[in-house]
Amino acid sequence: MIQKPYLLFLGDAPDPLAAKVAQGIRDWRPDNAVGQFRLPGCKADLGLPDMDLAEARAAGAKTLVIGVANRGGVISQSWKKVLVGALEEGFDLASGLHNLLRDEPDLVAVAEATGRSLHDVRVPDVDYPIANGKKRTGKRCLAVGTDCSVGKMYTALAMDREMKARSLKSSFRATGQTGILITGSGVPLDAVIADFMAGAVEWLTPDNDPDHWDHIEGQGSLFHVSYSGVTMALIHGGQPDAMILCHEPTRPHMRGLPDYALPSLEDLRDTALHLARVANPACRVVGISVNTANMGEDEAPAYLAEVEGRMGLPAVDPFRYGAGRLVDALLAS
Amino acid sequence: MIQKPYLLFLGDAPDPLAAKVAQGIRDWRPDNAVGQFRLPGCKADLGLPDMDLAEARAAGAKTLVIGVANRGGVISQSWKKVLVGALEEGFDLASGLHNLLRDEPDLVAVAEATGRSLHDVRVPDVDYPIANGKKRTGKRCLAVGTDCSVGKMYTALAMDREMKARSLKSSFRATGQTGILITGSGVPLDAVIADFMAGAVEWLTPDNDPDHWDHIEGQGSLFHVSYSGVTMALIHGGQPDAMILCHEPTRPHMRGLPDYALPSLEDLRDTALHLARVANPACRVVGISVNTANMGEDEAPAYLAEVEGRMGLPAVDPFRYGAGRLVDALLAS
């Protein structure tokens, strides 16, 4: 568990997209971010107060989160001075970069000397069990996609926010680096050893109150040949009561696989549901989340209406129009 | 790649079953085993010549394979003297135990001093790529099961042997510890990191002659919630042209999961085929391999005939009756 709140380190981000992890924290857990730290030349701005390390400590920040990705995922030397200074100032460090904090001898030495923690959320720090398949109390909703990167994390976060706004019991369960940094905990599922994937998902979504919903961040797609095993483990380890189908309608082919077409929403529904019912015979598909970012003001509602009529399920873009109807459908299921 | 041939170490095996890895090598690659090494009290006997280390070296053995599992998978002190002696005698060591050879400081020290290799086949020693899904030349056949441990490895080995007996181009591709020790190479898929599972299977089954068949050892089951992600990665990474359904008809529930019933063969066929066709639209199910070990002399043929009639596919027990009809079906497909 990463100590909150955070100071968000944007470094020398060459553009706003490079700071998308920090933006995710800013968007989804604004209470977790007391300020931003930018180096000269930084082209990202979250609209948070710019703070130096001492100011952020005074404002209560406990962890400096590297909220920026640079080319190659490495920890640049220009960042090192700030990171070392942060440890000396009393901050823990958290990072989702490929280049691990723990592989930097200077950071390790200072962290040990100061008694601070280095959180590399890209690699697991738990010995997960093998899945036992036992039925757990509480409810779980899993976002599944026609492809990778179609908005599964966003959908789960939006539904969690909507339920919390209605004072309902809800948790977002992160399964990727960005989600873990946003919420401070989770399982970096793509880095878990094969035999323990489903067990890690069981561990992440334990017994809970009967009226509590876990919103599980999806990964990959059953139809994406590079990552479908990870998706499969989420479906069986998560034993979802409900699934949301996630889709991006303008994509010409599966992400990174030019020879592979996207499946239809009907195929995703039938395939995912059949497999999910192995673990939970009561599982249902309750709604469709469409990423309409590449569709115009007229085009998006028309497409959503067409999908809704065809599938007989609410079809919404939660980013554009809110997650209310998806939550309504979840609660009605 | 483990150097062959082997001296098979049976240690102080308390019963024949404890030496099942050695038995597998003896059954499937008899040319790889020059002899067996037994400690006092050993209750297993492969029918191979008993040899000491010097005799085995003289007979050409290059690797001492730990072909026995003891309780807890640990390397017992009573074995250590033999293992150290083997390294000093010029043998490499190979093991599939949980307790890794490389975690034993005395073995590491002697191996370094003597220039010998320690092969822990339970853990990967390759940085596998992420799967790219590109179509490969050559043919691949994957064994998929209604459950774990229903005979998938045996089926693939039997088909490989039958094709070799007919002078056809064929390779057995091991994906588990026993298979790797039998053939000397492979991928320990259950120990691979999630993101690289399908890529590891692509790596294992590369481009080949158009008339060459890889017989890929299956793992887990799409219907076994603990391990289905591993099975999924085999189906997409292997991009099989053909699949064999494997089944054990007397099992009361999924292995280790008392609350889970086995799927029907029809369900396995339809589910596996639909997912396999994402990677290879030409994939077909060509036959059924039934483990009839728990069925009587009359019961087994009656059951096979019933399944064959119902499924419209050859249904055989390759251990009991040979793999000829499965290979016939494969070649006809």
A254: which DSSP letter? B
* Structure-token match 């757990």, residue found: A136
Structure tokens at A194: 């094969």
Query: For the sheet containing A63-66, what is the strand order?
Result: A33-38, A6-11, A63-66, A92-95, A118-120
* Structure-token match 């931003």, residue found: A36
A299: which DSSP letter? H
CA distance to partner chain A, nearest, from residue B129 (Å): 10
Most A-contacting residue of B226, B235, B236, B277 (CB-CB within 10 A), to test interface: B226
CA atoms of B27 and B21, how far apart (whole Å): 10
DSSP string, A201-231: HHHHS----TT-EEEEPP-S-TT-TTTHHHH
Q: CB–CB of B133 and A257 under 8 A?
A: yes
CA atoms of B9 and B76, how far apart (whole Å): 13
B21 contacts chain A (CB < 8 A):
no
CA atoms of A70 and A206, how far apart (whole Å): 35
Residue B73 has pLDDT above 80, yes or no: no
- What are the backbone dihedrals phi and psi of residue A151, each rounded to the nearest 5 degrees, phi first? 115, 20
B261 → chain A, closest CA residue: A278
B274, with CB counted inside 10 A (0-12, 13-18, 19+), is middle
Q: CB–CB of A197 and B194 under 8 A?
A: yes
CA atoms of B66 and B302, how far apart (whole Å): 40
B202, with CB counted inside 10 A (0-12, 13-18, 19+), is buried
Structure tokens at B226: 């603990």
Q: What is the mean pLDDT of chain B?
A: 96
Residue B70 has pLDDT above 80, yes or no: no
Half-sphere exposure of B211 (CA within 13 A, CB side): 7
Query: Which pTM was predicted?
Result: 0.95
* Structure-token match 């050892």, residue found: B217
Contact B114, B88 (CB under 8 A): yes
CA atoms of A257 and B9, how far apart (whole Å): 46
Which of A189, A198, A260 is closest, CB to CB, to B226?
A: A198
Residue B333: band (very low, low, confident or very high) from pLDDT cuts 50, 70, 90: confident
B180-229 per-position pLDDT tens digit: 999 999 999 999 999 999 999 999 999 999 999 999 999 999 999 999 99
Burial code (b: 16+ CB inside 10 Å, e: under 16) for A70-103 equals beeeebeeebeebbbebbebebbbbbbbeeebee
Residues with Cβ within 8 Å of residue B322, at least 6 apart in sequence: B158, B162, B316
pLDDT at residue A309, rounded to an integer: 98
Q: CB–CB of A193 and B190 under 8 A?
A: yes
Residue B178 has pLDDT above 90, yes or no: yes
Half-sphere exposure of B272 (CA within 13 A, CB side): 38
B144: which DSSP letter? E
Structure tokens at B267: 């369900």
Most B-contacting residue of A148, A202, A226 (CB-CB within 10 A), to test interface: A226
Pairing assessment for the beta strands A139-145 and A213-216 based on DSSP bridges:
parallel
More confident residue, B139 or B76: B139
B279-301 per-position pLDDT tens digit: 999 999 999 999 999 999 999 99
The 8 Å CB, 24+ separation contacts for B80-85 are: B80/B104, B80/B106, B80/B107, B82/B9, B82/B11, B82/B37, B82/B39, B82/B53, B83/B9, B83/B107, B84/B110, B85/B53
Q: pLDDT tens, position by position, for chain A (333 residues)?
A: 899 999 999 999 999 989 999 999 999 999 999 999 999 999 999 999 999 999 999 999 999 999 998 776 778 888 999 999 999 999 999 999 988 999 999 999 999 999 999 999 999 989 999 999 999 999 999 999 999 999 999 999 999 999 999 999 999 999 999 999 999 999 999 999 999 999 999 999 999 999 999 999 999 999 999 999 999 999 999 999 999 999 999 999 999 999 999 999 999 999 999 999 999 999 999 999 999 999 999 999 999 999 999 999 999 999 999 999 999 999 998
Contact B180, B97 (CB under 8 A): no
Most B-contacting residue of A136, A142, A195, A202 (CB-CB within 10 A), to test interface: A195
